[in-house]
A and B are shown apart, each in its own frame.
Chain A
C-alpha cells in the first residue's frame, strides 16, 4: 500500500489510488455488516454438520439430520403413491367396460393410462400411440380385434400370439407364396383384387381373376366382402388403413410370406388398475368404439 493521504473535506484516509482525479475514501464497514458476515459463517458450519457437505473418498459426510436427495425422492414417491392409493384401489375393482365415460374416475383412469402407456407401450406403438409399420395406430377407427373398452381390455390382458396363454389373440395367415399354395401370378391376381376392393385401382381382368382365388383362399378369415374378421384379427381390406402398406409391393410381400403381430400378455406384468387405466386411455384416443 502506498502512503495514504487524508481527504481534506471529510478527514477520512484514502485508499491510495485514483482514477481521473477521483480518489476512493477508506471508510470503515458498518459493524452490523460484520456481524451478518459472522452469522453466515456460523450458518455454514451448522449446515455442514447437519447436511451432507464434505466430500470423502467414497461419498460425502452423511450429516446429522440424515437427509439425502435419494431419501427425499423416495419419501416423495411414497407420499405420491399414498395420495393416489384410494383412486388406484377403486380403479383396480371397477369394471372399465361399463364405467361412465364422464365420471371423475374415468378422467383419472385416462390420465393414469397416459403415463402407463409411455412406460409400457410407447416402445412399439409410439409415444402418441400413432404406431408405425407393423404396429397399429391406436388413434384411428380401425381395429383388428375390436375397439370397445371390453375388447381393448381383453387384448391388453392376454396379448397377441403369446405361447402358453389359452386366451391369447391368435391370428394365423398362411404364407401363400412361400408354402406354395398360390403361384406368383395367382398372388398378383389376389393383390389386384384387394387393391380394387380398397378403391386403389379400377377393376380389371386381373382383379376379376383374383376374386375367385380370394373367395377360395381368403374369404374364410377376411370375409366374403373383404371387410375383415375380428375373431381372427383379420384386417379390413376395403378401408384406407394399411398396417404393412397398401401398395402392390407390400401387398405381394404380405400374401407371399404372411404377417403376424405379437404383443405381450400384460396381465403377467401389470396390475388390474394399470390395465384398466391403459384401456381407458387407448379408448379415449379418438377411435374407441
Chain B
C-alpha cells in the first residue's frame, strides 16, 4: 500500500491552523490540537495498517507558511515487516519551512523486523530564521523476540538545507551481514541509536550536561557548523533515552519561548 499525508499549515489571525490536509490510507492525521500554547499546533500522525509490509511506501509532505509553529507526533513506532518478495519498504518525508516557522517532529521510531528492508529519506528546506527539531530512535529489531540486527538492510537519511547551505547530511546505512556491527567503533554492545537534531541559530545548550558515558548508555553532543546541535545516543536503556529526549525537548521550549 502507498500511504500519503500532505499538510499545509498557515496563519489565521496570528494562530497556526492546518489549512489543508490530504491523506491516503493507511496514513491519516488527527485534528489539530493546541497542547502547550495557542501558537503551536500539534497533530498526531496515524498509521492504520500496523506497519510497512514489503513494497509499501509512506510519503509525507509538510509545508509551513511564514511564522507558523507545528509539532507532529507519530502515534506509534514504524514497524517494518520482512521483505520476502525482495521489495523494500520506504518512507519519504519532504518538509518546507517558511520564514520564522518552526517544526518539531517528535520521536520517529523505526523497528525493522528480521529479514526486513527499509529505506527512509527525509529532506528539509528551511530559511535562516526558521527552526527544525527532529528526534529519532532506531531499534535493532524486535529485541523481545531476540532480534538484534537481524534485518537485511535499514537505511535512513536526513538532509537539511538552509537555502544553498547544507546543514545536515546524515545517512545511516546498516547492512549487518556485510558490516562489523559489533565493533565498538560501530555499535559495540549497544542496541539502540537515537538522535536529536536541534537546528536553531539561537539555541545554546549546556554541552557538559549532554555528554556522559556508562556501560549501557552513552550520550554526546556536537555543535553543527551553522546552526544548533546534534545529540546522539548509543544505548541499551530505552526508557532513559526517552526521558533524556523529553528533557532536551523541554530545554528547546525554554530557549525558544
Partners in one complex: no
A interface residues (Cβ-Cβ under 8 A, vs B): none
